[in-house]
Chains A and B, each alone.
Chain A
Amino acid sequence: MTAASRSDLGEFGDLPVAEVRSAALERAEQLGCRHAEVRIEHIRSQFVALRDGKVETTVDDTEIGVGLRVVRNGSIGFAATVEVHPHAAAALAEEAVRLADETAATLGTPVELADEPPHGHDYWASPYEVDPAGVEQADKVALLEEWSSRLLAAGSVDHVTARVLAVVEDKIYADLSGTVTEQRRVRIHPVVEAIAVDESTGTFESMRTLAPPVGRGWEYTAGDGWDWDAELEAMPELLAEKMASPSVEAGTYDLVIDPSNLWLTIHESVGHATELDRALGYEAAYAGTSFATFDQLGTLRYGSPVMQVTGDRVTPHGLASVKYDDEGVVAQLFDIVRDGVLVGYQLDRRMAADNGFTRSNGCAFADSPLHVPIQRMANVSLQPAPGHGPTTEELCSGVERGIYIMGDKSWSIDMQRYNFQFTGQRFYRISGGRLAGQLKDVAYQAQTTEFWGSLEAVGGTSTYVLGGAFNCGKGQPGQVAPVSHGCPSALFRGIRVLNTRAEAGS
């Protein structure tokens, strides 16, 4: 083994990654493929969960594998194996070509990929200080024990679950154009949830930390990017107040939605709706299609004129941020909704070529070396008001009868992204422009364009938070993708609020 054959990403160790990538691409080229791309990945996932301060689950997993996608005569074939070996890689090319040929007869439209210039051999790592994989599981357990004990010491808390998931994703990509990229992404999501039980009535309530998952290292748990001490200290009293709070009266309310809740509404009602593969019907059997059909690009009134939404894969600490996507396309920033009108879609190279775009905007991703890259979500973010903009308190001050909603919990939206329903972690009654105590059993339900049309004001940059999730699902076989969504607090007028206990018939 020569030094030159080793990856710059040390995790691959002595695996013959250079030989594997050459073997796969050379064989694909020999077999007449116009396009071929190979990914060799090493994904370290560590998970620790504690229940009432005791370890319930630990996972320390390393996924390694190689996947090859080819386009031959307009047909796509994909083959993958965990056997990272040059002979196995060459065999992948043969398997992928065989699959492409076998399905050529059922091909309605030959596959084209939008051009992307070659980028040579490049390396990138997401910003992080402390590699979470270098922190022993026992130290992760110790931190969660300490956090749990703080909450269990409070009289209002009966049970605590605490967990942390950390992922270090190393990916080598190479294609026939000559691009070779080596990228590392680090992400982490600590979560603490407190539960209060009323044994006499058989009911219970929970309250979860609002700290978002982020593209950072273990330093996040020490306060770099989030004030854990403040959040944990406040939770017992907030839970006690929620437990004792009145059940919401169903009806129509003005809503001030905190970024800790609004990110998920953006994800579901804007992020997924503006994926071009969905809009064109390629997810019709699974994730669904979109009301935001391609013929409405440039004309669809998505929301009120204060609605400005971008997609990007470049935001620091963003979960979808990279330097190159899984088709070798450079990460970009692009408009999706401008002044309330639909002006852009998220693309991969195939969707771009099929629909008259000269270039993909870099939204291809595969969650595993064993899965084919598909169009996945960029960091889709709602922009804050220009200048200083209003604070959350200032947004609330304009509401006579409303609810301020914090934190995400339950979520669901239909297969064309019209009808959605969300709950949350905390709900405050707004009366005469001021917060007037917590409510419980709140869900809000709306149609996407009516909801965004009712957006009266967005908060300023001081209210802006980058939220997100590790587990966005799409595709068959199912793939999960991490994605961030930034947004300010925002004021929506006249939204339908349900009482979830009444919905259950109790």
Chain B
Amino acid sequence: MSATAGRRLEAPQAVVERALAASRSDGCAVIVEEISQAEVRFANNTTTTNGVRRDRRVVVVSFRSLPDGGEGAGGVGAGPTAVGVASASGIVDVEKLVGASEAEAGRAPPADDAAPLIEGDAASAAGADFDRGPETTSPAVLAGVVGGLGGAFDRARAGGNLLAGFATHGVSTTYVGTSTGVRRRHVQPAGTMELVARSGDGTRSAWAGRGTATFEDIDIAAFEARVIERLGWAKRTVELPPGRYEVLLPPDATADLMVPMSEAMSGRDAEEGRSAFAAPGGRTKVGESLASLPFDLRGDPKEPGLECAPFLATGASGTDVSVFDNGLPVGPTHWIAGGRLERLRYHRAGAARSGVEPAPPVDNLVLELPRATTTLDDMVARTERALLLTCLWYIREVDPVTLLLTGLTRDGVYLVENGEVVGAVNNFRFNESPLEVLARATEASRSERGLSREWGEWQPRTAMPALRVAEFNMSSVSPAT
């Protein structure tokens, strides 16, 4: 009989403590993530798939101190350390999982990202939070959306339009415990609402999307009104050729470009000369001006409406993220300040090697022009001739040297002339670098919550300005509608 036969799921904190108790290695970190999710999907004026799920992920990281040939062991990460990681979902045989991670650590070479484990601090010792159970969601959170869809489908049918979209809400509760006394818990609610309207003949389309923590701020009628208004704008169409155009990027499209740029901000890649943030001569671009406007690009776990984890929890090391850093506090971080590149991402071991401060990733992203008060509507009103975009799609890196990205405009490109939208324009394939977009931005609105169409599933917590960008490179026309 195995350890799991006939068992139900036990409390996540109990899994953390049982794994730490079972650990025979020199150090151990345990992460339990409890995920509750509900969604409704619809297309062609009908709901298609509706689901609920309960997920649990358990990660055990075992650390093994290795002889360092002299100075004496100073604890895990103080000298050469091997690491092993094993993870599983569901009703986990905890002792077996601990054993698997220890077996892996037993044969692993010294880890390149070794650092002393994070010590439990006051935030951990508070403890009360850690003892609380996981939070959940349910289809009831989406009741307002589902309730509104029936009428919206009827109106779409009457108007000869087709609605499609997706509403999802999830809550993930993360518990981190280490053999050095860290006990942290974080509850991350996350949701997105997206609505697409297409004319029955498929020639016109419009999109609206938003990230939300609660769905209390989602008004399905407002989504419907927005996409129907935009289908109306598209009744007059203007064919334009490829070329360089002044564009107005709404916050959603700005997020489409800023999220991949922030993902490319690896300190080590830049130092090694293999990123767009590298400078000739083995240096990085930290300290260099990236924009003519004094933009700030930052993350902050306490950003109102975009709250995210104030500590690191990771089951896999990477170039700038380390399993040794589990429990590391994550605070407000400026990546770009006043238009200058302020810092790049580093885990603690990498930061120590490079003589900089550690900079773990922050799970939200804000681009703002301090003291900006203008709105996208104001910017449209001040426009002589430009393309107003809706969102970007199928964005992929073409050349990491310049961070050149390609992708498409999608579900609404509008020609603005003399302060007014005068019609819809065909879609384009663009080839542009977000670094060039920042450098050539001539105007920015105040920042507001925007949802990246391309990356919103992974990063729904973004606040962005609308941007006016000169000479945006529309490389070819896409006949897609």
Which residues of A does B touch, CB under 8 Å?
1, 13-16, 47, 51, 54-65, 67, 75-85, 87-88, 95, 98-100, 102-103, 105-109, 136-138, 141, 145, 158-159, 195, 197-204, 206, 280-286, 288-289, 291, 370-372, 374, 410-419, 421, 423, 441, 443, 445, 447, 476-478, 496, 498, 500-501, 503-506
A286 to B42, CA, bound (A): 11
Query: Looking across the interface, which residue of chain A has its beta carbon closest to that of B433?
Result: A504
Contact assessment for A59 and B408 in the assembled complex, using a CB-CB cutoff below 8 Å: no
- Closest approach, in angstroms, between the C-beta of B212 and any C-beta of chain A? 16
Contact assessment for A85 and B91 in the assembled complex, using a CB-CB cutoff below 8 Å: yes
Contact assessment for A419 and B54 in the assembled complex, using a CB-CB cutoff below 8 Å: no
Other CB < 8 Å A-B pairs besides A281-B162, A285-B196, 16 of them? A56-B318, A61-B86, A62-B88, A80-B53, A82-B9, A82-B90, A85-B7, A106-B153, A109-B46, A206-B400, A288-B480, A372-B51, A410-B399, A412-B406, A415-B393, A419-B477
| A-B contact list, 20 entries, CB within 8 Å | A54-B109, A58-B316, A80-B52, A80-B53, A83-B91, A84-B90, A84-B91, A106-B153, A137-B104, A138-B107, A202-B281, A284-B205, A413-B394, A414-B478, A414-B480, A416-B478, A421-B431, A476-B41, A504-B399, A504-B431
Which of these, A1, A108, A138, contacts B108 with CB under 8 Å? A138
- Closest approach, in angstroms, between the C-beta of A202 and any C-beta of chain B? 4
B43 partner residues in chain A, CB cutoff 8 A: 281-285
Query: Looking across the interface, which residue of chain A has its beta carbon closest to that of B51?
Result: A78
Which of these, B48, B398, B429, B436, contacts A410 with CB under 8 Å? B398
Contact assessment for A108 and B86 in the assembled complex, using a CB-CB cutoff below 8 Å: no
Q: Which B residues from 253 to 294 make CB contacts under 8 A with A?
A: 272-274, 278-282
A195 partner residues in chain B, CB cutoff 8 A: 274
Contact assessment for A477 and B406 in the assembled complex, using a CB-CB cutoff below 8 Å: no
B210 partner residues in chain A, CB cutoff 8 A: none
A459 to B366, CA, bound (A): 51
Query: Looking across the interface, which residue of chain B has its beta carbon closest to that of A268?
Result: B394
A4 to B426, CA, bound (A): 62
- Closest approach, in angstroms, between the C-beta of B159 and any C-beta of chain A? 15
Which of these, B5, B9, B112, B194, contacts A83 with CB under 8 Å? B9
Question: Interface segment, B11-19, B121-129, B163-171, B354-362?
Answer: B163-171
A423 partner residues in chain B, CB cutoff 8 A: 398-399
Q: Indicate if B418 sits at the interface (CB-CB under 8 A).
A: no
Q: Which B residues from 29 to 58 make CB contacts under 8 A with A?
A: 37, 39-56
Contact assessment for A286 and B274 in the assembled complex, using a CB-CB cutoff below 8 Å: no
A81 partner residues in chain B, CB cutoff 8 A: 53-55
Most chain B beta-carbon neighbours within 10 Å: one of A106, A374, A498, A500: A106
Contact assessment for A414 and B399 in the assembled complex, using a CB-CB cutoff below 8 Å: no
A200 partner residues in chain B, CB cutoff 8 A: 280-281
Which of these, B42, B395, B473, contacts A412 with CB under 8 Å? B395
Contact (A416, B162) CB under 8 Å given A282-B44, A503-B431: no
Q: Indicate if B333 sits at the interface (CB-CB under 8 A).
A: no
Contact (A60, B318) CB under 8 Å given A105-B150, A107-B46, A501-B402: no
Which of these, A47, A56, A202, A443, contacts B398 with CB under 8 Å? A443
Contact assessment for B410 and A57 in the assembled complex, using a CB-CB cutoff below 8 Å: no
Contact assessment for B49 and A421 in the assembled complex, using a CB-CB cutoff below 8 Å: no
Contact assessment for B479 and A445 in the assembled complex, using a CB-CB cutoff below 8 Å: no
Contact assessment for B49 and A56 in the assembled complex, using a CB-CB cutoff below 8 Å: no
Contact assessment for B480 and A374 in the assembled complex, using a CB-CB cutoff below 8 Å: no
Q: Indicate if B236 sits at the interface (CB-CB under 8 A).
A: no
Q: Indicate if B442 sits at the interface (CB-CB under 8 A).
A: no
A136 to B86, CA, bound (A): 12
Q: Indicate if B247 sits at the interface (CB-CB under 8 A).
A: no
Query: Looking across the interface, which residue of chain A has its beta carbon closest to that of B104?
Result: A137
Query: Looking across the interface, which residue of chain B has its beta carbon closest to that of A411?
Result: B396
A42 to B7, CA, bound (A): 17
Contact assessment for A372 and B49 in the assembled complex, using a CB-CB cutoff below 8 Å: yes
Contact assessment for A108 and B46 in the assembled complex, using a CB-CB cutoff below 8 Å: yes
A87 to B8, CA, bound (A): 9
Q: Which B residues from 294 to 351 make CB contacts under 8 A with A?
A: 315-319
A141 partner residues in chain B, CB cutoff 8 A: 108-109
A204 to B153, CA, bound (A): 52
A283 to B45, CA, bound (A): 12
- Closest approach, in angstroms, between the C-beta of B224 and any C-beta of chain A? 14
- Closest approach, in angstroms, between the C-beta of A124 and any C-beta of chain B? 24
- Closest approach, in angstroms, between the C-beta of A146 and any C-beta of chain B? 13
- Closest approach, in angstroms, between the C-beta of A307 and any C-beta of chain B? 20
Contact assessment for A102 and B139 in the assembled complex, using a CB-CB cutoff below 8 Å: yes
Q: Indicate if B476 sits at the interface (CB-CB under 8 A).
A: yes
Contact assessment for B272 and A414 in the assembled complex, using a CB-CB cutoff below 8 Å: no
Give me the 7 closest cross-chain CB pairs, A-B, nearest first.
A108-B46, A82-B90, A138-B107, A416-B480, A503-B431, A202-B280, A419-B478
Which of these, B40, B279, B318, B479, contacts A416 with CB under 8 Å? B479
Contact (A498, B431) CB under 8 Å given A83-B8, A103-B146, A136-B107: yes
- Closest approach, in angstroms, between the C-beta of B141 and any C-beta of chain A? 13
Contact assessment for B54 and A82 in the assembled complex, using a CB-CB cutoff below 8 Å: yes
Which of these, B48, B109, B395, contacts A282 with CB under 8 Å? B48
Q: Indicate if B195 sits at the interface (CB-CB under 8 A).
A: yes
Contact (A199, B273) CB under 8 Å given A59-B315, A415-B393: yes
Q: Indicate if B77 sits at the interface (CB-CB under 8 A).
A: no
A41 to B79, CA, bound (A): 41
A281 to B162, CA, bound (A): 9
- Closest approach, in angstroms, between the C-beta of A74 and any C-beta of chain B? 10
- Closest approach, in angstroms, between the C-beta of B268 and any C-beta of chain A? 8
Contact assessment for B408 and A412 in the assembled complex, using a CB-CB cutoff below 8 Å: yes
A197 to B202, CA, bound (A): 47
Q: Indicate if B6 sits at the interface (CB-CB under 8 A).
A: yes
Query: Looking across the interface, which residue of chain B has its beta carbon closest to that of A83?
Result: B9
Query: Looking across the interface, which residue of chain A has its beta carbon closest to that of B56?
Result: A82
Contact (A88, B280) CB under 8 Å given A55-B108, A83-B54: no
Which of these, A14, A95, A159, A206, contacts B2 with CB under 8 Å? A14
B108 partner residues in chain A, CB cutoff 8 A: 55, 58, 137-138, 141
